[in-house]
């Protein structure tokens, strides 16, 4: 609907050119006689002023960014740590139903009927704008998608584990620890799988000589032949927390990495955070992390799983009384 004026003018210009280019004398007579009798106004020979495609897109983007609420998402895409093109790939290649696509765009634009939105944007009569689940914070879309404490151990954990399953299965196949690839939602990782060259841990605590405050990364892969290991931890924060989440995950497991290196007598131990936002925004750090394991092609599957999970979380939340 935003483009309807531009589309109208393009169609009008095309039809004018069609009639004026006809050699039929009767049509030429009709063109001369059409003095604003039809919407085309065929007696007018001047071209309709059209905005170029690039200018039109730039104008629409500028209008979008200037909106107080809706404009937050396009501004987030322009952040230096965000891969803009990859963040929008799901709109082309994901195969998500149109209803879910539209719902996720509404979530990204923050136009979901939360209590906060209803009270302050729609000016509806809302007595209490606190979260209907935790009753501790204002019920905004960001609160629902990634900050409600009552959803942390259930809905958020399930979303987190879906991403972790994609990464774990891909690593297991690469290291020939499993032979069959399943849909990620049917895949159940084993706690430990091992062969002659590799060992893969899933959500296992690591016993060390001294107590570690954080000793349970989501995935540990040990490559025996090159005597190295990777500690992989998944994060699905809200978009404005992408960079903080990455740094938190990285710092969180550095002490464990040093302990494991000495304890297991390894040449190298590296912490690899795998971070993607609740609305599918992809930071450049995700590309870097996936490239280390030659699984950049799994980026689309990770993005799709997060978008589907977040849409489901919001739908179920809003259907509560």
Question: Could you tell me the fold of the domain covering 154-301?
Answer: tt1808, chain A (3.90.1570)
d(CA 217, CA 204): 7
When pLDDT is cut at 50, 70 and 90, the band that residue 45 belongs to is low
d(CA 278, CA 301): 14
What pLDDT is stored for residue 46 in this prediction? 65
| Token reading at 263 | 């304890």
Q: Please state, as a whole number, how many other Cβ atoms lie within 10 Å of the Cβ of residue 46.
A: 6
pLDDT digits (tens, 9 = 90+) for 155-185: 999 999 999 999 999 999 999 999 999 999 9
Average pLDDT of the chain to the nearest whole number:
91
d(CA 239, CA 276): 8
pLDDT digits (tens, 9 = 90+) for 224-278: 999 999 999 999 999 999 999 999 999 999 999 999 999 999 999 999 999 999 9
d(CA 72, CA 142): 12
Comparing CA positions, the residue from 149, 158, 123, 159 lying closest to residue 303 is 159
Q: In the chain, which residues fall in CATH 3.90.1570?
A: 154-301
Place of tokens 């987190």: 160
User: Which class for 168: exposed (0-12), middle (13-18), buried (19 or more C-beta within 10 A)?
Assistant: buried
d(CA 201, CA 263): 16
User: How many residues belong to the chain?
Assistant: 321
Comparing CA positions, the residue from 293, 314, 307 lying closest to residue 163 is 307
Is residue 52 scored above 70 in pLDDT?
A: no
d(CA 26, CA 30): 6
Comparing CA positions, the residue from 295, 271, 299, 294 lying closest to residue 283 is 299
Comparing CA positions, the residue from 128, 133, 109, 108 lying closest to residue 118 is 128
Count CA within 13 A, CB hemisphere, residue 211: 1
pLDDT digits (tens, 9 = 90+) for 245-255: 999 999 999 99
Q: What is the pTM of this model?
A: 0.85
pLDDT digits (tens, 9 = 90+) for 75-118: 999 999 999 999 999 999 878 999 999 999 999 999 999 999 99
Is residue 294 scored above 60 in pLDDT?
A: yes
CA angle 239, 273, 107 (to 5 degrees): 20
Is residue 48 scored above 60 in pLDDT?
A: no
d(CA 127, CA 259): 53
d(CA 281, CA 307): 9
d(CA 105, CA 114): 15
Task: List the single range of 39-53, 142-156, 294-308 with lowest mean pLDDT.
Answer: 39-53
When pLDDT is cut at 50, 70 and 90, the band that residue 154 belongs to is very high
Sheet of strand 192-194, all strands in order from the earlier edge strand to the far edge:
192-194, 198-202, 219-223, 228-235, 268-275
């Amino acid at each position: 609907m935003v483009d309807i004026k531009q589309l109208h003018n393009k169609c009008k210009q095309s039809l004018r050119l069609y009639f004026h280019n006809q050699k039929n004398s009767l049509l030429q007579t009709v063109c001369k006689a059409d003095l604003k009798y039809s919407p085309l106004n065929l007696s007018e020979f001047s071209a309709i002023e059209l905005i170029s495609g690039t200018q039109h897109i730039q104008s629409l983007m500028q209008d979008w960014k200037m909106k107080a609420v809706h404009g937050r998402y396009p501004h987030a895409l322009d952040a230096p740590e965000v891969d803009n093109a990859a963040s929008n790939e799901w709109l082309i290649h994901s195969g998500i139903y149109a209803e879910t696509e539209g719902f996720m765009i509404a979530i990204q634009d923050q136009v979901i009927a939360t209590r906060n939105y209803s009270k302050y944007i729609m000016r509806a009569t809302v007595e209490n704008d606190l979260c209907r689940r935790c009753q501790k914070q204002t019920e905004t879309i960001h609160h629902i998608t990634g900050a409600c404490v009552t959803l942390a151990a259930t809905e958020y954990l399930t979303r987190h584990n879906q991403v972790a399953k994609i990464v774990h299965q891909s690593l297991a196949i690469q290291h020939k620890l499993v032979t069959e690839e399943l849909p990620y939602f049917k895949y159940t990782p084993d706690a430990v799988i091992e062969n002659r060259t590799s060992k893969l841990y899933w959500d296992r605590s690591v016993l060390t000589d001294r107590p570690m405050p954080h000793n349970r990364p989501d995935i540990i892969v040990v490559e025996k032949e090159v005597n190295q290991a990777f500690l992989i931890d998944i994060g699905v924060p809200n978009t404005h927390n992408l960079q903080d989440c990455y740094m938190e995950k990285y710092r969180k497991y550095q002490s464990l990495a040093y302990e494991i290196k000495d304890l297991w007598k390894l040449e190298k131990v590296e912490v690899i955070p795998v971070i993607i936002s609740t609305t599918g925004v992809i930071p450049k750090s995700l590309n870097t992390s996936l490239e280390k394991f030659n699984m950049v092609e799994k980026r689309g599957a990770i993005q799709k799983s997060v978008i589907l999970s977040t849409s489901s979380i919001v739908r179920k939340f809003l259907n509560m009384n």
